[in-house]
Each structure stands twice: as C-alpha cells, then as structure tokens.
A and B are shown apart, each in its own frame.
Chain A
Amino acid sequence: MDYATLLQILDSTLRLATPLLLACLAGLFSERSGIFDIGLEGKMLMAAMCTGAVAAMTGQVWLGVLAGIVGSMLFAVVHGLASITFRGNQLISGVALNFVASGITVLIAQSLFRQGGRTPPLSGDARFNPIELPFAETLSNLPVIGPFYSEVLSGHTALVYIGLLCVPLTWWVLYRSRFGLRLRAVGENPASVDTAGISVVRLRYTAVIITGILCGLAGAYMAAGLQAGFGKEMTAGRGYIALAALIFAKWRPWYALMATLLFGFFQALALRPDVIAKTLHFAIPVPALDALPYILTVIVLAGFVGRAIPPRAGGEPYVKER
C-alpha cells in the first residue's frame, strides 16, 4: 500500500467514523446515567429522515439538522418515559423504538415525497459542504505531514469537526463538571445521589435528552454529509456498531474516539477489498471485515482483553425508598 492510498483510506476512515463517534458519545451519556439505550439506531434513522426531509424542503442544511435533532429527541423522550417514569424494561423499549423508527421513517418520507420512501437528493446549500482548514493548500507541499493535513484532516464537513470537538467536551463535562460527577454517580448508585438531595429523575432525563441531541447530529450527518438524502434503513446497523464501540471503549470518551476510528477504519477497508488483497497478498472476504467490529466487541465483552464493566445501576429503574 503506498502513501497516497493510505491517505485515501484514512480520509474515508474519518468520514465513516463520524456517525459512529457521535452515536457512541450519545450512548455514553445515557448509559453513564444508568439508562441502557439500544435505540441509538432508531434515533439516528429518525434524525436522518427529518434532516433529509427538511433540508430538501427548505434548502437549508442547518434547518435540516435542527429537525433531525427534534426528531431524535422525540424518540429519546419516549425512551425516557418508558424507562424512567414508567420503570419499564429499557432493553425492550430500545428494541421497540428501533422498529417504530424503521417503519415510520419510510411512511413519512413516502407520504411527503412519493419517491419510494426516500427523500429527494440534496445538493448545494441543502447539504454539508467540505471545509478547507487554513493553510491546507500551502502546507500540502511539506513531506509526509503536509499531505496528511491537507488530504486527511482538511476538507471534511462541519459535523466531522463538531464530532471531534465533542470528545474533549464530553471528557470535560463527565470528569470536570459538577453535572458530570452527578451523572456518573447516578449511573453507579442512584440512591446515594437521591440522598444528597439531587433529583435522579431530572438527571436521567437530562442525560437521555443529550443522547437525543447527539444521535440527532449523527443522523443528520448520515443524510446530509455522508450521503445526499435519506434512504430506507440507511443507518444499516451503525447504531449497533456505536453500541459495540461504547463497550469496546469501556464507557470512556477518549477511548470512544479510538474505538470508533478503529471501526471506521474497518468500514473504510471493506470498501477497498483491492487494497487488502494487494497489501496482504491474500484476499480477506468482505463479510469478514463487516463482522470484525462485532467479533472484537464479543471478545472484549468476554473479558479476554481487559474487562468491560458497565455502570453498576445500568438498566435498573430507580424506585425511591418510602
């Protein structure tokens, strides 16, 4: 593999990792507060549809993003109602909402546009356009680092950079802010948080809504960044890969970045089977590459490579003592 090919693959790694990263950080907030969320997939899908539809109708990509966030938050609130207020089974709620999202997105898109459940193709201002980082042109002549800067880091859409910025931000919120301390506490031992006079319900709803916003961004990027418009089941299991990345990262933000970049790298490689064949001198079947993130996650879950311990109170509804 020559340097130019490597740069191409790293470039698509960053593009493909972004929705995973945003969804993974989304899941991180929810699960750290003690609410399991396997509904990341559904929220992303809903956001992608809302973004695709509104961006197509208004021609404004940011209005689309806003609509995406609203759509995703709607599902987040239902998940919150089921798992916080009505103390239902969080796993079942997540599964259910994924099905609802999978169906309803097609229903709405079809009734709005009558194009077989897709939204019209986006172009121009209705889509995210690449941003050239400063000095990308001038620095590109530097050996090794120059092309890396101009080819891989520069020239992505706004949400890629927002996603990357979310990592230190999440770290800061989680480990350096009062809210983050409480959030981590409520995921480990809600009773102690309650005893300290802080509302468990409010904390968890806040976390679930943050999850909704981040999933909204992830879906918006799918529809208006990675592709140009919404299509049926376009998230194609990315919500579950993000979930896998979250476990792989052991519920920590910087590790989440690395896990999603790794899984993004696999996806980028799966798009270029020719490169693998040339580099390794034997062909790895594409399905094997597709399955790799899931296999790695199972290995991590099995505790063979370090132990992945979820937040202690995860999945259990909190019942106040009487």
Chain B
Amino acid sequence: MTRLPRWADVVLVPLISLLLAGIISALVILAIGQSPTEALKTMVIGAVGSPYAWGYTLYYATSFIFTGLAVTVAFHASLFNIGGEGQAQLGGLGVALVCLSLPWPHWTLALPAAMIGAALFGAAWAAIPAYLQARRGSHIVITTIMFNYIGAALIIYMLVNVLRPAGQMDPATARFPEGTKLPTLHEIPGLNLIFDKQVPANVTLFVALVACWLVWLLLWRTRLGYEIRAFGKSEKAAIYAGISPVRITMIAMLISGALAGLMSINNVMGESERLLQNSAEGAGFIGIAVALMGRNHPVGVLLAAILFGFLFQGGAELGLWTSIPIELRTVVQGLVILFTGALDHMVRMLLGLFVAPRRTEVA
C-alpha cells in the first residue's frame, strides 16, 4: 500500500479527486453537446463574479458547513451518519415550533432560542439510530437512511395535518413573526458596503464559523474529543483505555445530529421564514461530500463548503442561462464523493507515481 507524505495526503488527494471529477463532468458536458469552458465561465460569473453572487454562494456554504461538520464529528468516531438530511429537516421543525410559539420582540432573542430548538430536534432524530447502534448493534448507515424517510413522512404529516394554518393550500407553516427575521449580509452595517443588494446569506454564516472553531476545539483540545477520535481509530484500544463505546457513540451522534439540525437556522429562519416540505434540499447529503473533501477537519470543511456553495449556485446559474440542466451539480457532487471517499486508494496510487512515496508494508 502506498503511503504518501502528509502534505500530499491532505492537499493533493482532495485536489486530484476534484480534478478527476471536473474532467469527467467536462466530458459529460461535451457528450451532451455543450461547451465546458462556457459552462465554467457561467458558473464563475454566477457564483463568485459579483457580491450579489457571493451572497448566494455563502448562503449555500453556510448550510454545508453545518452538515459537513455533522458528518465530520460522526466520522471521527468512525460512524457514517447519512441521516443529516432527516436531522436537518427535523431541526427545521424545531426552528418553526420555537419561532411560532412566541411573538419574538427581536432576532437576538429569537436566534438563540431557535438554535436550541434546531439542535435539540436534530439531536433527537439522531438519538434513536445512535442508541440502536450502541446497544442493539444495528448498522447506523441503514438506520439513518431509514430515519431520513421516516423524518420526511413525519414532516409531511406535521405540515399537512398540524401546522398548516386554516385556509392555506400548500403544505407549509405560517410565516414566522417579524421579530424572528435574521439580518442578511446586506443589512449588517459595514458589510452593506460590499453587499449592495438583498442576498440570502445572513448572520447564520458567523454562527457557522464559530461552529467550525468549536468543533476543532472539541475534537483536538478536549478530553471528549480525544475519546471520540481514539474510539474511531480503534474500538478495542479505546475500550482497553476505559472509554465506553456506548457513551461515545451516543455523544458523537447527538453532536452530529445537533449540528445537522442547526443548518435549518440558515434556510428555514434566515431564508424561507417558514417551514416548507423538503426544506433541507439535499444539503444533508452534500455534507458527506464536504466532510470527505475537507478531510474531516473544520478548516477543510469550511473550504469545501465554500467550494460546494460555488458548485450549487453555479449549477443553478447553468440551469438558468445555458441548456445544461441544473442536475449537473448532483453529478459533480456524486463524483467528488466517489473519488474522495471510495476511490481514494486509486487516487493515492496515481499520486504515488509522482510524489516520492514512503513505501511501508501494511499487512
């Protein structure tokens, strides 16, 4: 097995994976009779070409930071949480219940309360799969997938039968009160010099940045983080060191679920201002790609989230201005996951041809 120098493993492997995904996407664009360079130009202009475009890219990136961190924390305990999508949707339910329960006077009061609601509901949705993994040995991947579907059904039921205001046709909650409205980057003094138009990116971006720092602090500067990483590296060694597998599995998954739930501050409270069906719009799944691409480190997650924000916004622009369907971004997302997560040995072998490898025998 090829062992690469650390810098190559951290920087080159994701970059090569991205390059491979890019090349294949370019071939796909060529195959459907479009120009890859035109496509790239449209994406760059539409996603990073103006402050207005950045407003959208950063809005998506904010959501992806949360879901990426959610997958990261679980990954460090060697748990693969595919349930981010369901946890984020349930988090949205928590936000909606908090926002609709009181006539909030100001967003500074509503935001912490809604964050607690989002985190609690997200964590609750991760708690059952976590318990089943820890105590009953059922595979967390399968149970979290199942909980995505159960969550979606629960949200539909809540929206149609419980939370929908009388006389409204579409399955959604009532609009949140004025006092819960989060300021967008356009409304923040100082930043409004850059963002001169209304953009969806809002103060949640700063919450997300703080979350990155806190997750770093948790994983590398606390005893709990050490226990999570030790458990993830070797369960046997962790048990020998007196770390309880049940406790770590539960805690890691609860934190993961809470982080996924917190993303709904951004989209439900910050953007749509009411809870809609399928509110997470796949961001829970993109968290997988972001975590893999970001090498399970908060800094990497931040960069990868911005990259996927670019991809998401750029892909939407493609759908608007060219005849390349918006679904191209799903293809790129899948390819990035494939190369960084499943074909990483292949990428390392490729790299080993160029970077002086340190050959070590791995039994």
Contacts and interface: CB of A to CB of B under 8 A. Distances in A.
Query: A and B: real partners?
Result: yes
Contacts of B324: 107
A290 B328 CA distance: 29
A92 B288 contact: yes
Interface in A272-318: 285, 287-288, 290-291, 294-295, 297-298, 301-303, 308, 310
Interface residues of A, number: 50
Interface stretch (A147-155, A218-226, A240-248): A240-248
A126 B286 CA distance: 37
Interface string A94-106: 0111111111101
A199 interface: no
B15 interface: no
B343 interface: yes
Given A86-B346, A102-B327, A107-B28, A96 B156 contact: no
A99 B32 contact: no
Given A89-B342, A111-B32, A103 B327 contact: yes
A38 B148 CA distance: 14
B328 A95 contact: no
Nearest to A101: B334
A57 interface: no
Contacts of B139: 301, 310
B261 to A, nearest CB: 20
A87 interface: yes
Contact of A303 (B136, B156, B335): B136
Interface in B96-150: 128, 132, 136-139, 141-143, 145-147, 149-150
Interface string B30-56: 011100000000000000000000000
A4 B344 CA distance: 56
Contacts of B327: 102-104, 106-107, 117, 232
B331 A100 contact: yes
B132 A301 contact: yes
Contacts of B143: 298, 301
B328 to A, nearest CB: 6
A108 interface: yes
Contacts of A117: 325, 327
B211 interface: no
B161 interface: yes
A298 B146 contact: yes
Interface in B247-298: 285, 288, 292
B257 to A, nearest CB: 16
B132 A86 contact: no
Nearest to A114: B323
A237 B331 contact: no
A267 interface: no
A220 B30 CA distance: 27
Nearest to B158: A287
Contacts of A303: 136-138
Contact of B149 (A91, A92, A93, A291): A291
Interface string A54-76: 00000000000000000000000
Given A103-B331, A107-B325, A301-B143, A93 B32 contact: no
The interface residues of chain A, by DSSP majority, are classed as: helix
Contacts of B153: 287-288, 290-291
A301 B342 CA distance: 26
A247 B28 CA distance: 36
A287 B146 contact: no
Contacts of A86: 342-343, 345-346, 349
A99 B331 contact: yes
B289 to A, nearest CB: 8
A302 B132 contact: yes
B341 interface: yes
A103 B146 contact: no
A111 B33 contact: yes
B149 A107 contact: no
A104 B156 contact: no
A99 B334 contact: yes
Contacts of B136: 301-303
A88 interface: yes
Given A107-B327, A108-B32, A92 B337 contact: yes
Interface string B192-228: 0000000000000000000000000000000000000
A166 interface: no
Contacts of A5: none
A237 B86 CA distance: 14
Nearest to A301: B138
A90 B137 CA distance: 19
B333 interface: yes
28 contacts: A82-B343, A86-B345, A93-B338, A93-B341, A95-B288, A95-B341, A96-B335, A99-B333, A102-B327, A102-B330, A103-B327, A103-B328, A103-B333, A104-B327, A104-B331, A106-B327, A107-B331, A110-B325, A117-B325, A240-B146, A240-B149, A244-B142, A244-B146, A290-B153, A291-B153, A298-B143, A303-B137, A322-B363
Given A91-B80, A294-B149, 14 more contacts: A78-B338, A82-B342, A87-B345, A89-B341, A91-B82, A96-B342, A100-B335, A100-B338, A103-B331, A107-B325, A243-B142, A287-B156, A301-B139, A301-B142
List the 10 shortest-distance A-B pairs measured between CB atoms, nearest first.
Answer: A99-B334, A103-B330, A100-B334, A93-B342, A92-B341, A111-B32, A103-B331, A301-B138, A88-B342, A96-B338
Interface of B: 28, 31-33, 80, 82, 128, 132, 136-139, 141-143, 145-147, 149-150, 153-154, 156-157, 160-161, 285, 288, 292, 324-325, 327-335, 337-338, 341-346, 349, 363
